Amino acid sequence: DVLDMEVKPKPSQLHWYELHIQPCVAELLGTALFIFMGCLAVLEDSGGTGRLQPALAHGLALGVTVAVLGDI
């Protein structure tokens, strides 16, 4: 029967906000978070951590950013 066929929805065009503004806001937030976390990680040197502390701070910032802003 013709009535039993599934109708596939047409892919709609994205709004200009989703095309241009959201990616820029995500980049701005991600960059600001990386700079903020990197600066905070190297402010106080806790002895022999060396490069490990900033690396872990940036990894944590990346994980949080992907978890929070992953759907953008």
Distance of CA 38 to the CA centre of its chain: 16
Query: Which tokens is 64 given?
Result: 């949080």
Contact indicator for 23, 71 with CB cutoff of 8 Å: no
Residues of the chain with pLDDT under 50: none
Residue 4 pLDDT: 61
Residue 58 pLDDT: 82
Q: pTM to 2 decimals? A: 0.54
Distance CA 3, CA 27 (A): 46
Is 26 part of a structural domain of the chain?
yes
Is 6 part of a structural domain of the chain?
no
- Domain of residue 61: give its range: 13-70
Residue 37 pLDDT: 78
Residue 72 pLDDT: 59
Residue 45 pLDDT: 65
Distance CA 11, CA 27 (A): 26
Q: Total structural domains in the chain?
A: 1
